[in-house]
């Protein structure tokens, strides 16, 4: 009876009401509707279930799983959910032996402060210049005396039982030179080697011109490595400008991307923090960067400001341009939290766009 009465009243009201009349009648109609409808409270579970079904239906039609080719890999359960990272912003001189000893001391200090992962800057054993790269380059594959920088990293990682993302050094391989990052596990063994993929070739008239390609060769592979502190993607400096690389690492299940880098006094103030926060927020993971300390008298002046960014794009720790060791905590549970808060993985439009991981696709 109540339902019939409501229908009759609404029909008679709407049959002659103008738009103005409708506005006037809405409050009274709403009150009458509430008085005539059943008073039982809706089951919140049923409401959530209906919402989930609608969301799932929309998600299915948008084909989010097809936005990554091959499909994205969920991050593995990390060996540690919480740990401390140390970022060593080091001064770099023309004295290679001093640079190596100085880096070792900084790593030891970071470990003393509780860091289980230590990150070094880009080109920490050499001045940053095309003239210096061939002189300071090391044969990493040969190791030992042919690569004193990586020999130190291997020794200290094993001695301190920590993971080291060893910034980068100039690498010589045959007749080619690379800008190379080495990752060492707590057993002192080389776990991965990343050669800078995107070379720093820029020309901003009146500001800065640099052409890494004059001496260096571009690397040919992304690098992601499982370590004692989680799955880490590696990029070097200019690599951070290319969002596709970070997206690829996220699709391969990375918890953290490390970018040793040396932005300059032109692009640093504008882009350094911006790019870090963008890579972290877009992919909902951690991003850590480490720069050399600033030397105003050097041929290439670094911006500094080594930083850790969380999966919500928030700056968790940073510094200015002087030498510093930044210690901060990484909590991987925040990755799942932020991906639940903003379920981007299930909202991508695979019906409109795709990111293709060429290496993974070719290996299938």
In the chain, how many H helices and how many E strands?
11, 17
128, 264 Cβ separation under 8 angstroms: no
Backbone dihedral region for residue 205 (phi beyond 0: left; psi -120 to 50: alpha; all else: beta) = beta
The first and second tokens of residue 294, run together, are 């600033």
The first and second tokens of residue 184, run together, are 């060492």
- Any residues with CB less than 8 A from the CB of 190 and at least 6 apart, and which? 140, 150, 154, 182, 183, 184
Task: Return the SS3 of 73.
Answer: coil
For residue 13, with 0-12 CB atoms within 10 Å meaning exposed, 13-18 middle and 19 or more buried, which class applies?
middle
The first and second tokens of residue 344, run together, are 């981007």
Q: How far apart are CA 208 and CA 241, in angstroms?
A: 17
Residue with tokens 């390609």: 213
Q: Which sign does the torsion angle of CA 332, 165, 308, 253 carry?
A: negative
- Any residues with CB less than 8 A from the CB of 102 and at least 6 apart, and which? 90, 91
Q: Is the peptide bond before 86 cis (omega within 30 degrees of 0)?
A: no
Selecting among 88, 96, 122, 182, the annotated active-site residue is 122
Q: In degrees rounded to 5, what are phi and psi of residue 86?
A: -120, 125
Selecting among 181, 182, 237, 258, the annotated active-site residue is 237
Strands 163-165, 115-119: pairing is parallel
Q: How far apart are CA 10 and CA 305, in angstroms?
A: 66
Among 337, 76, 363, 357, residue whose Cα is nearest residue 227? 76
Q: How far apart are CA 146 and CA 189, in angstroms?
A: 17
Angle at 84 between CA 78 and CA 90, to 5 degrees: 125
Which element (helix H / strand E) includes 211?
Answer: strand 208-211
Selecting among 196, 258, 273, 290, the annotated active-site residue is 196
For residue 237, indicate whether it is catalytic: yes
Q: Mind telling me the catalytic residues?
A: 122, 196, 237
């Amino acid at each position: 009876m109540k339902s019939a009465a409501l229908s009759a009243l609404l029909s008679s009201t709407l049959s002659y009401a103008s738009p103005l009349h409708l506005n006037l009648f809405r409050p009274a109609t709403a009150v009458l509707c509430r008085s005539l409808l059943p008073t039982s409270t809706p089951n919140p579970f049923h409401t959530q279930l209906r919402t989930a079904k609608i969301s799932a239906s929309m998600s299915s039609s948008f084909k989010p799983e097809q936005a990554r080719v091959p499909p994205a890999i969920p991050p593995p359960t990390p060996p540690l959910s919480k740990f401390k990272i140390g970022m060593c912003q080091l001064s770099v001189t023309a004295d290679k032996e001093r640079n190596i000893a100085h880096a070792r001391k900084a790593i030891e200090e970071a470990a003393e402060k509780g860091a289980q992962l230590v990150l070094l800057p880009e080109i920490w054993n050499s001045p940053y210049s095309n003239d210096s790269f061939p002189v300071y380059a090391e044969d990493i594959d040969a190791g030992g005396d042919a690569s004193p920088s990586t020999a130190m990293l291997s020794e200290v990682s094993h001695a301190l039982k920590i993971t080291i993302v060893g910034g980068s050094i100039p690498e010589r391989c045959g007749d080619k030179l690379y800008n190379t990052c080495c990752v060492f596990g707590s057993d002192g063994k080389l776990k991965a080697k990343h050669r800078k993929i995107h070379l720093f070739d820029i020309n901003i008239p009146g500001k800065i011109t640099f052409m890494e390609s004059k001496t260096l060769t571009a690397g040919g592979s992304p690098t992601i490595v499982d370590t004692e502190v989680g799955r880490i993607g590696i990029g070097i400096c200019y690599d951070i400008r290319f969002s596709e690389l970070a997206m690829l690492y996220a699709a391969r299940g990375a918890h953290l991307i490390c970018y040793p880098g040396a932005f300059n006094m032109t692009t640093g103030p504008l882009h350094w923090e911006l790019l870090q926060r963008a890579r972290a927020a877009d992919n909902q993971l951690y991003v850590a960067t480490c720069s050399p300390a600033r030397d105003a008298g050097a041929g290439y002046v670094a911006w500094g400001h080594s930083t850790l960014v969380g999966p919500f794009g928030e700056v968790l720790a940073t510094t200015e341009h002087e030498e510093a060791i930044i210690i901060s905590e990484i909590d991987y549970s925040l990755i799942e939290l932020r991906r639940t808060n903003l379920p981007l993985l299930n909202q991508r439009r695979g019906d409109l766009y795709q990111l293709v991981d060429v290496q993974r696709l070719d290996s299938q």
